Amino acid sequence: MRDLKILIYQGNADTPETTVRVPGNVLKFAVRLLPKRAVARLHENGIDLDELVRLAAEEEAVGTLIEIEDHNDGERIVIRLD
């Protein structure tokens, strides 16, 4: 199972302000430990964590899955499977 990586950028920064990496072998259980801020942003944008866990088990699912830009807050969220 692939690792889930959530990167949160502020403004036009090239370096993420926050990086959350969840190892694939514990992903099913660890999604409950994600920071509330990250989970809130995911839910606000209609992202289903259970579906991400399912995708992480797929052999061909790799790389950036979703990139969300919030133009009001100047925030960008990238969700990857590595």
Instruction: Please report, in tens digits, the pLDDT of each residue of the chain (82 residues total).
Output: 888 898 999 988 899 999 988 888 888 887 777 778 777 877 887 888 888 888 888 888 889 988 988 888 888 989 999 8
Handedness of CA 71, 76, 79, 80 (dihedral sign): positive
Residues composing the chain = 82
Question: Taking Cα atoms as reference points, which of 74, 67, 48 lies closest to residue 6?
Answer: 67
Sequence ranges of the domains in the chain: 4-81
**pTM > 0.95:** no
Residue 20: predicted pLDDT? 86
DSSP class of residue 14? S
Residue 16: predicted pLDDT? 95
Residue 68: predicted pLDDT? 87
